[in-house]
Amino acid sequence: MVRLRGIRAQGRHGASPGETERPQEFLIDLEVAVEVEGDRLAGTADYRELARAARGAVEGDPVVLLETLAERVAAAVSGVERVLEVRATVHKPRAASSVDAEDVSATATWSAAT
């Protein structure tokens, strides 16, 4: 299992007009099961590609629900070569402060087995 924590991305997601007008920061945590073939970089998933896929999903077209965004991230990361399973958690720091909470996040899982 490969873990990447705190991938930063800017997006315009949310239910209120202010959230879709101005970019806000999102943080992404990934847990990715990867196929490994030998002890060589070409034999596994590239961490940079995993982060790039996650960031691209957040920087794409706006969605209303954080849950939808987490599903989009998991699907995007699943497209990276040698990925077998993805657990993607998307954190929305600005939403947390608006409800006096430490964190607001949504998690989605994708698996090649399903």
Contacts of residue 101, defined as CB under 8 A and 6 or more positions apart, other chains included, come to none
Q: What is the pLDDT of residue 16?
A: 86
- Say what the pTM is: 0.93
Average pLDDT over residues 57-85: 97
Mean pLDDT, the chain, rounded, equals 94
CATH class of 2-111: alpha beta
Q: Where are the domains of the chain?
A: 2-111
Sign of the Cα torsion 92, 98, 103, 106 reads: negative
Q: Which pLDDT does position 114 carry in this prediction?
A: 62
Task: Average the pLDDT over 99-114 and give the result.
Answer: 90
- Phi–psi pair at 2, nearest 5 degrees: -100, 135
Catalytic residue among 85, 90, 92, 105: 92
Instruction: State yes or no: is 21 an active-site residue.
Output: no
| Mean pLDDT, residues 43-64 | 95
User: What's the rounded Cα separation, in Å, for the pair 14 and 56?
Assistant: 17
| Percent of the chain topping pLDDT 70 | 99
Region 45-69 average pLDDT: 97
